[in-house]
Amino acid sequence: MNPIEDSVGVIIHAGVSALDTLIHGPSGSRSLKGEQKEKNPSGPMTDAQIAKVTVGSPPKRLDGPVVLAEYDPSWPALFAREAERIGSVLGARALMIEHVGSTSVPLLAAKPIIDILLVVEDTRDESSYVPALESVGYVLRVREPDWHEHRLFKGPDTSVNMHVFSRGDGEIERMLVFRDWLRVSKEDRELYEKTKRGLAGKTWRYTQNYADAKSAVVASIIKRAYEARDRSYGTS
């Protein structure tokens, strides 16, 4: 783990020796950079697609620019508080809780929303984790059976996007590789921030549309991150 991890906080209930299994699945096979599943390879999500995956009330429209904030040193503490709350109700069912997204990268401007990665055994088994999270105020807002069986929760009293994936899903590694690379690569961190600032000032119908617009740059950064990791492992 990057040394910065100590200031961010991480809970791995299954133990460090099980980390590879959590990320890559029981077989231990690594996801190849060319095999990452794109959320919507045909283009940005449409209004109909966004509405289809939304749980509960209709998604809130933005109809304006995205507001970015300068990096706030308090963001890791906000994550740590939420991680403790999540762990307190899920216990060993929370296989991994990680701070991800832009707020997890020091010096990077971001939407002031804490992104959390939660790994459970099987996201389809909602009865095993949804009621527990709801008991402490989390609200299930997105269910995507056709994209990694992803679930997204909003937080109770902090602006949070909690992404839930099943053990071994390739998106887990992708999110962690992206975060860790931005923490150490000043060049790509600055490229990503420049891209975000350039897009944020435009008018967006939904925040998801803004996220989709960053996809090409994100993919290029992740490709370089995997290449750097492969070089460090002595592979090609």
Condensed to tens digits (0 to 9), the pLDDT of residues 30-75 reads 333 333 345 554 467 898 998 999 999 988 899 999 999 999 999 9
Domain-embedded: residue 20: no
- Mapped onto helix, strand or coil, the DSSP state of residue 161 is strand
Domain-embedded: residue 90: yes
Burial class (CB in 10 A: 0-12, 13-18, 19+), 81: middle
Range of the domain at 96: 5-14+38-233
Give the CATH number for residue 44: 3.30.460.10
Domain-embedded: residue 53: yes
Please state the domain count of the chain: 1
Domain-embedded: residue 22: no
Cα separation, 196 vs 211, whole angstroms: 9
Residue 59's pLDDT is what? 86
Domain-embedded: residue 28: no
Query: Residue 68: CB partners within 8 Å, gap ≥ 6?
Result: 109, 110, 111, 196, 197, 200
Domain-embedded: residue 157: yes
Residue 146's pLDDT is what? 94
Cα separation, 102 vs 115, whole angstroms: 8
Where does the pLDDT of residue 14 fall: very low under 50, low under 70, confident under 90, or very high at 90 and above? very low
Residue 20's pLDDT is what? 54
Domain-embedded: residue 220: yes
pLDDT digits over 151-201, tens only? 999 999 999 999 999 999 999 999 999 999 999 999 999 999 999 999 999
Range 11-46 burial, b when 16+ CB lie within 10 A, else e: bbbeeeeebeebbbbeeeebbebeebeebeeeebbe
147-156's contacts with Cβ under 8 Å and 24+ in sequence apart are: 147/37, 147/39, 148/37, 149/122, 149/123, 149/124, 150/123, 151/123, 151/126, 155/82, 155/114, 156/85
Range 103-123 burial, b when 16+ CB lie within 10 A, else e: bbbeebbbbbbbbbbbbbeeb
Domain-embedded: residue 161: yes
Cα separation, 213 vs 200, whole angstroms: 10
The two beta strands, 139-144 and 150-154, are: antiparallel
